[in-house]
Amino acid sequence: MSRRHFLRTCTAVALGLSLLLVHLTSAQRGATLRIYLARHGQTDWNVEGRLQGSTDTHLNDTGRQQARELAKRLTGLQLDAVYSSALSRSRETAEIVHGSVPLTSLAGLNERKLGKFEGLRVAATTTAGAPTRASSNDSAVTQEYVRRTTDPADSLDGGESLTQFSTRISTTLATIRKQHASGTLLIVGHGVTNKMILRALLGLTLEQANTISQANDELYLIELDRAVPPRLWKLITEKTLGEL
């Protein structure tokens, strides 16, 4: 083989490898599923500190404004689909945001059914409907709520156990992911629903998931790509600059 022929062959091989790498990188990029995860806008019960659960409450004026702000933050993103729960506060938020993107409401994304505790006020030591802690100064209702909602088998007198709830959310997510192996989605959920979504997608323990507290106007992004571990991002706004 002449030197010129050898160099020509090496160049062709190098070019072929470069094109292969570009193709693989593009394929990997195309296989990424991006899920923007928002919580519904504020309701009057949020302001009052009442547990909503499966009770079908509606957005208040602040909640509708938060939904409009969410729509602005998503401007320029090419969403393939938007999902909400079947509860009004989630559906209303998604309706303000989705524009021309298909919107699907799934009861499988509804907030956890809280049984006897729905509509009751709890202390500020609980967040987004999920317990963090209770002190001896808290009311008996708050202490009972914190104790019982952390028991995976307790269905809260006509509500839904954590085991049942987690299974429901995981099953619903699996259904969504079967329809969207890649692309960009928005899910508008609830305080505890979103904890379970993150638990399922990131492989968190129940204890880890319960440390998450997403405000009504906060936005997360989960990137799912078989080539790398799941990635979780949070939008930092002027309000949350102190988290940097």
Active site residue 111: yes
DSSP 16: H
Active site residue 180: no
Candidate list 40, 118, 160, 218, residue with the active-site label? 40
Within 8 A by CB and 6+ apart from 89, the residues are 40, 41, 43, 52, 56, 57, 58, 59, 63, 190
Task: State the Cα–Cα distance between residues 58 and 90, nearest whole angstrom.
Answer: 8
Task: State the Cα–Cα distance between residues 97 and 188, nearest whole angstrom.
Answer: 10
Candidate list 92, 98, 111, 218, residue with the active-site label? 111
What does residue 225 show for φ and ψ, rounded to 5 degrees?
A: -145, 125
List the catalytic residues.
Answer: 40, 111
